[in-house]
Structure 1
Amino acid sequence: MPKAPLTRNLRNTNWHRYREELDRLFPEDREPTTPANLEELEYLFDHFTACSKAIDIACPKKQHRGRKKPPWWNEEIKISRKKCRKTFNQATASGREGHWETYKTTLREYKKLLRRSKRTSWKDFCNGVESISEAGRLRKILSGAAQKAPRCLQRPNGSWTETEEESLDLLLFTHFPGATDSMPVQPHLTGDPSVTGDFLTKEKVIWSIGTFKPYKSPGPDGIAPIQLQQTLQRGYML
């Protein structure tokens, strides 16, 4: 049987230990003195390397053990299921009619308790849905699949759109009047500060990192937003 893969739960990270490791691993020169050259690239490499090494120490990967219990599971259900299994084994061993009746009674009680607990858990979940992201996930669960773009929308002149492209164009010009298909071309990001100076600044990068949800999935580099946010709080700048 193959072993379960190693996983890391960032919510269990010892962030105090993480910041201590950053202090130990991060280079002394916190900001490159000469921008857009090899020294800056080495600085960024050291930055992300320090983040990776610190998270390996503060939150090492572990092998997943078993399945997590569902939210409706509780100790009362556990005791009822244990009792149900015990009466079933007794009925199977003895074969007496009285033992089978006892088993059927405990089985009905167990199923009744299970249904009540599931209903209560579902009501609590629905009452706790407040944020847009949680409501979006709930809609996808209930619908079974993400809905497609709207196809039939009414124009101001009373006519209706016939394709998804027409509906999207109508939404665009309704909510963003004056928008055109020809968008200004963004400057190509190069190492030349004269090109990227006004487009990409340190302040914009710091602001962008702060707007991420801390525990969003990391990108190809494996660095989660919470790691960069903790790094910025420590005083280390990109």
Structure 2
Amino acid sequence: MKENQVIYPLPDQVRCLRREVTMRYAVYPGRVAAQKMSQAEMDREIGTMQAAADSIEKMAKNGLFREAWNTLAEARTYAHAELMQEITRVQQRANQFTTDGNLASAQAECRKLAGLTLRLSELIGELLAKPQSDAPVVSAPNLLLTATPATAAANSAYATVEQKQAIIGLLNHPAIERKEKTKVLLNINRISPDKATETIEHLNVLIDAYDGPTSYAKAS
């Protein structure tokens, strides 16, 4: 997402779409009369815009979607570190509210978490979309979810942060195909330490066999 991009509220988007529908009803019949478009084209263009307005309006009225959208819009203003810290805080609050039996508050926190994780998904998508040699190793650790106190003990069964950082660093090498990169990233927070070691060895084998040009500097 571009910096300083304005996030328009869903109700404003609905009103804009409604104005566009009104404009099309006013303008398109004249274009049909002038044979600049057919009746079928007019009906389709007005119909699709009307459907878009109806869809966005339904989203705006849906509490779950609206809250997730609002959180996503705010999360797009966060730096990577701020986003990860907020995800951790919201996870902790949701866990505590659930433990206390305050399910309404727990649900509200989960809605926030939905928006925050959508933003995290966007960031991972941006990383995947970059040319292989342009994805900096230093930014990769910012995408790693941190453990909350309630789950820290259980996470001993998962790969360490250092292992995840090493894996993401290796994924930046142009020897790693996009399909492989996507598969590893999608599972990186669920693999065991042994699987992480195996993955690192596998990626190093691919890199060692690579003959193409690269400006990649292997992490120490």
- The answer, yes or no, to whether TM exceeds 0.5 is no
Query: Which TM-score bucket, shorter chain as reference?
Result: under 0.3
Structure-1-length-normalised TM-score: 0.21
Bigger fraction of residues in helix: 2
